[in-house]
Amino acid sequence: MTKTILTNAINACVERGDKAFVPYIMAGDGGLKALKEQILFLQEVGVTAIELGIPFSDPVADGPVIQEAGERALAHGVTLRKVLKELTHFIDEVTVPLVIMTYLNPVLSYGIQEFIKDCGDGGVSGLIIPDLPLEESELLRDALVDSEVALIQLVSLTSPPERIEKITAAGEGFIYAVTVNGITGVRDGFGDDLQTHLEGLKAVSPVPVLAGFGISTPEQVRTIGAFADGVIVGSAIVDAFHHKGLTTVEALVKSAEKVAYR
């Protein structure tokens, strides 16, 4: 089955002269009932898709802002199963693709087939599982064959060319280009080789390339977005929602409009 929901949404954004903007939110930060309000707000201000982080007790890729958000969500009793169930209550109101970001252990504990079914019922279009390497991804990939859910691949700055070719060949939805070495979080700047890295990914990837990790200001959205098909912004969005800074969220989203390729 073709997994084109995310790809088509990103391509439509690029074709009208904008860059894709995908915000990350921690599902259940502020309570599970806040999820609907946050998703519909982001949809209203014009995001391309939404990445929903699932709180996990031992994250490997999360910086302090997202870790703290995860702890708040866990304190509300939020789980992967509860998030997917909550999505079914308002999925008819959601018009943008949803991406789940979780770790492998919660998926295995859930049961792969049941998890995939519930993703479909909740309107999920993509999965990001940062601790699932390409070499072991058949575990999920085979189970997703008859699903419209894309298994999104991450590429790091240190990935050698031959590995990049393998990862991009397996790309579904979009390629998540990690822009820094290390965990998520606000950064003042990025390496001088980032432009070359992103342009190289775009040259070989059959699906759009989105840049993420450390992007936190409108200027960074415009600068880095110019080298990719769009950006993913996490910590700045999570922090803004936590402090009720909705104007900050809107400004970040709008900064992806009319960003030219360099």
86-144 tens-digit pLDDT: 999 999 999 999 999 999 999 999 999 999 999 999 999 999 999 999 999 998 999 99
pTM: 0.94
Catalytic center residues: 51, 62
Please give the radius of gyration of the chain, using alpha carbons only, rounded to the nearest integer.
Answer: 17
Look-up of token digits 């590995």: 163
Give the pLDDT score at 260: 78
Question: How would residue 192 be classed by pLDDT, with cut points 50, 70 and 90?
Answer: low
Percent of the chain surpassing pLDDT 90: 84
The tokens describing 98, both together, are: 């949803």
The tokens describing 260, both together, are: 């030219």
> pLDDT tens digits for 59-72?
776 788 999 999 99
Give the pLDDT score at 60: 73
Question: What average pLDDT does this structure show over 179-204?
Answer: 73
Question: What average pLDDT does this structure show over 38-55?
Answer: 98
Give the integer Cα–Cα distance in Å for 199 and 234.
22
Domains of the chain: 5-254 (3.20.20.70)
The tokens describing 5, both together, are: 């929901």
Give the integer Cα–Cα distance in Å for 108 and 56.
14
Give the integer Cα–Cα distance in Å for 256 and 18.
6
Q: Is 138 helix (H, G, I), strand (E, B) or coil?
A: helix
